[in-house]
Amino acid sequence: MEKRKIRINDVKETEKKLILAGAKFIDDIEVSDTYYNQDQGSVLKVTECDYGKFLVQIIGKNIIRHEKIEKPRELKNALKERYGRDTILDKRRKKYEWNEYSVRIYMIEEVGDFLVVTGENVPDSVFGEFGFEEPEFIEVPFSELAKDL
């Protein structure tokens, strides 16, 4: 699985573009991600949302692991002890489906708003399908963007 993301300036306008392109709205939820220190280009985090708690590992653009966890407190403590905690980001996420892709809008307070497309081999041209002619691609984890503030 591959994940690509761009910065967006207007959530409502982006939602209109997604609907015009034929994307189907799925849900709107709150998400909390706890990030742990990793080498540059890698992400290790625990995601907590209405659907459960998940251990997520990303290397580069590729999602290596996304598995449900039953005892998040114990795992979070073990990860913090082993790697050190990097940051916690609370997000609002709006999820859409379009063709074979999962399309999400993330609104992260004090970090920004982003459009994220996940699927097999996500080409840059996907964003053009949504009307983004020259998007600002984000190649670093959200936790890295939070550090730049």
Q: Is the pLDDT of residue 14 over 60?
A: yes
Residues 127-137: tens digit of each pLDDT: 999 999 999 99
CB-based contact 32:146 (threshold 8 Å) = no
Provide the pLDDT for residue 149. 53
Sign of CA dihedral 120, 106, 18, 9: negative
Tokens of 103: 């399309």
Q: What is the dihedral of CA 8, 51, 142, 144, to 10 degrees?
A: 170
Across the chain, mean pLDDT equals: 94
Q: Return the CATH number of the domain spanning residue range 2-147.
A: 2.40.320.10
pTM of the model: 0.89
Q: What's the CA angle centered on 118, arms 145 and 19, to 5 degrees?
A: 100
Please measure the distance between the N-terminal and C-terminal CA atoms of the chain and give it in whole angstroms: 29
Tokens of 120: 């097999």
Residues 60-81: tens digit of each pLDDT: 888 999 999 999 999 999 999 9
Provide the pLDDT for residue 109. 87
Q: Is the pLDDT of residue 11 over 80?
A: yes
Residues 83-112: tens digit of each pLDDT: 998 899 999 999 999 999 999 999 998 899
Angstrom distances, CA of residue 26 to CA of 9, 95, 96, 98, 147: 22, 5, 5, 10, 31
